[in-house]
Each structure stands twice: as C-alpha cells, then as structure tokens.
Structure 1
Amino acid sequence: MSLSRAPRRRSNRGRASLLTAVTVASALALTACGGSDGGGATGGSGTNFVQSDGGISRVAKADRAPAPKLDGKTIEGDTLDVTSLKGKVVVLNVWGSWCAPCRAEAPHFAKVSKELKPRGVEFVGINIRNTTSAAKEFDEEFGIDYPSLHDPDSKLLLRFPKGTLSLQTIPSTLVLDREGKIAARALIGLGEDQLRKLIAPVAAEK
C-alpha cells in the first residue's frame, strides 16, 4: 500500500511546485513589463533621486538635472517638442499597449490629466514597442487625449541621464518641474492616489 501511494505524493508535490511557479510569474507580470532591450538608461540612483514612499522617488530642487530634449512625431503624426511646455509641470509616462500594468493605470492617467490641465500640468506619453495603430486604439479605449511621442525603438529613453529610467521597467513616469528639470519618478504602475501624490509637491512649487 505504501508503494502505491508514493507516486501520488510526488505527483502532488510536482503540481504544487508548478502552481507556485505560475503564481509567482503572474505576480511579476502585473508589477512591470519588460523593455525591448538592455543597456543605456538604467534604474540606478545616479541622478540624485531620494526614495520616498509608495514607490516614488524625488530630487531636491537644488539637485535637479535638466530633462533631455524630447521631440519627434506623436502617434497621431503631429510634431511635438516637450521643451515648448517649459513653464508648466510636465508628466512623462512611458507606456506600451502590450503592457498589462500600463493598461491598469491608463484610466487614472486619463482622469487626472484632464483635471490638472487647467492648473498648468501637462501630460505627455512616450509610446514604445508599438505600431501607431495599436497605440491609437489604446488611447481611444481609455479616453486618453494628451499626446504621446512615438518611440518604437526606445531611442528617446536613451537620451535621459544614466540612472533616470530603466529600459526593462515599463510603465515608468517622470515629473518635470516648471524649469524643465527632473523632479520626481515612479518606476511602477500607478493608481490614482499614487499619481496625484507624485505630481502634487512639484505642482505646488512656486
């Protein structure tokens, strides 16, 4: 009898191990989506970021570095230069329609961007690893009406100083102050409260 039960115990352990592996993989998939390649911009601390709470990092006003020039075609085919928004707080969101956490945070970005625009806060997306048609469908689905630069090869991300962004971490969000300097960062998908918390201190600056 003991010999006949042994294979069943091993089988159950095997199924349990497989279930655990699938659960862990699913949890990781919901946390962040992988980028297209490695190298270039990284997620280090080389740009004076100080970890705050809820996955948010900030840079003291005196220690901020200027954002690189970000310009090019949007997913709608228009030309956009982010430096033209200097004087406003700019929220830069790196996203792809293929990314589950990007889809989860999209309704919050659509809502908050509309509410804060009259207060001098502008949202700009950086769309990576997408065709323009897929990116447009994403915007239509979630009611996003702010522009996104089309960056299928992540070339715009490589313009950022080392330690600002990670090509392997999508979605990512940066907040630029009114002088066009990098003030805050989140390398996670954001809920509405987290997004507001990310923006509020920078928007409150004089």
Structure 2
Amino acid sequence: MRISKKARGVASIAAALMLVAGLTACSDASGDLAEQYRNGDGKGYIAADFAVHEYKPGEQPPAIAYSGTLDDGKDVSNKTYSGKVTVVNFWWAACAPCRQEAPILEKTAQQFAGQDVAFLGVNTYDQAGTAQSFAKEFGITYPSIMDVDTKSVTAAFADVVPLSATPSTVVLDKDGRPTARIVGAIPDASILGALIKTALGES
C-alpha cells in the first residue's frame, strides 16, 4: 500500500512531537543536561532508563555525613574519603540494572586509579556473603557498605536520590558535597567519567 506525501508528513510531525515529549519527561530529573543536549554541546546524557543531574556551582547540596560497616567488617565514614572525589553507588546483587552497570563502574574505577577518586558501594538489601560473591563475579575491587539493617547511609542521601531508586549513583566532591547524581543504571563509562572529571575540576 502506497502512503501519500500528506500521510508521511503527518507521521513525521507526530514523531517529532513524541521526541520533544520524551526530552521533556527526562528534564524533570536532569533539566540542565536536557538543555545542554538540545544545544548540542555533548553534555546532555539522555536515555529512557536513567536520568542525570549535575548541580550548578553554588547550588550544590550540603556535604553528606554517613558511616557504616563494609562487607569485610571494617567501619568507614565520609571522613574516610575526605579529600577525594567519591563515587557512591547504591545497589543489591539480584537487581538486574545493578548487574548491568557493575562492569561499567569497575572500568571507571580502574580508569581513575591512582587519582584522588574513590568508589564506594552501598548495598541496600543483601548480607555480606552475597555482596562478596557479587564482587567476585564481576571483578569489583572497591568496597561496599552493608546498609540492609540500619538503612542509615541510604537515609543520609535521601535529599539527593529517592530512597527506593536502585541503582543510583552520587558523585561527591573532595568536600563531600554532591556534584552530580544518576538515577538508574549507567549505560556507558564515558558518562560517569565525565562527571568525575567535572568534580575534579578538569572540565
């Protein structure tokens, strides 16, 4: 069946409106990045299954204080990572998007090894043995706080990411203030890498 030029034109307009609507939906959690995407400057990381928000200078939330126990029994807190850009990732082992992004997180951690950058997982559901098995399976070299019992670390970040949003990732500057958040699975290491470089003052 042949489609008339008029019908094709209507279809094209409808597709364009759907695209605009999609970008508008993303802008709720990443408004400034959506605008950058439209401007074509390469910083607008927009996808259907995740949302990124970068805090503008002067608009960052206060430094986040937290403490917890790692899967190996050691105690850590925000003071442990003082002076470093810290990537805090909320996850649990059977979460499919968490498994999807695990190699991306480790790849990025290796990329910034030896720099003033630290990675810290926050496991919101599992016990230590499960978390350690996950780390072994995916070759994860950075530690994770076990937050299933107290939920204190999750609560400490509640003003930055939704309590029920897993996975989520927050980038903290060297003073512990959030510079960016990602709600949903990270689709590519370059996205997280760019946010880390911004927090380091490299871009």
TM-score by length of 2: 0.72
Match of 2:190 in 1: 193
Deviations along 1:136-185, one digit per CA (max 9) or x if unpaired, are 000011111111111014331112353x1112211000000111111100
CA RMSD of aligned residues (A): 2.0
Residue 134 of structure 1 pairs with residue 109 of structure 2 = no
Percent pairwise identity: 31
Paired amino acid for 1:196: G
How far is 1:67 from its partner?
3.2
5+ residue gaps in structure 2?
A: 1-27, 34-43, 46-50
CA shift digits 1:49-88 (9 cap, x unpaired):
7541222201122121233221121011111112221211
The structure with higher relative contact order (CA 8 Å, sep 6+) is 1
Helix, strand or coil: the match of 1:117?
Answer: coil
Q: What is the CA–CA distance in structure 1 between the aligned matches of 2:72 and 2:141, rounded to whole Å?
A: 11
Q: What is the aligned partner in structure 1 of residue 178 from structure 2?
A: 182
Q: Which segment is superposed worse, 70-79 or 192-201? A: 192-201
Q: Which residue of 2 aligns with 1:159?
A: 156
CA contact (8 A) 1:56 1:198 kept: no
Return 5+ residue gaps in structure 1 as ranges: 1-43
Please identify, of 146-155 and 91-100, the stretch whose mean Cα deviation from structure 2 is larger: 146-155
The alpha-carbon distance between structure 1 residues 119 and 71, as it changes in their structure 2 partners (threshold 3 A), is same
Corresponding residue for residue 39 of structure 2? none
The CA distance in 1 between the partners of 2:85 and 2:68, in whole Å, is 20
Q: Alignment partner for residue 146 of structure 1, among 142, 145, 166? A: 142
Instruction: Name the count of aligned residue pairs.
Output: 159
Correspondence for 1:108 among 104, 119, 129: 104
> Which residues in structure 2 correspond to 1:40-189 (within 5 Å)?
50-52=31-33, 53-54=44-45, 55-153=51-149, 154-160=151-157, 162=159, 164-189=160-185
**Counterpart Cα distance in 1 of 2:158 and 2:124:** 18
Q: Which residue number in structure 1 is paired with residue 19 of structure 2?
A: none
Structure 1 or 2, whichever has the larger Rg, is 1
Q: TM-score, normalising length from structure 1? A: 0.71
1:56 counterpart letter in structure 2: V
Question: Quick one: distance in 1 between partners of 2:112 and 2:73?
Answer: 25
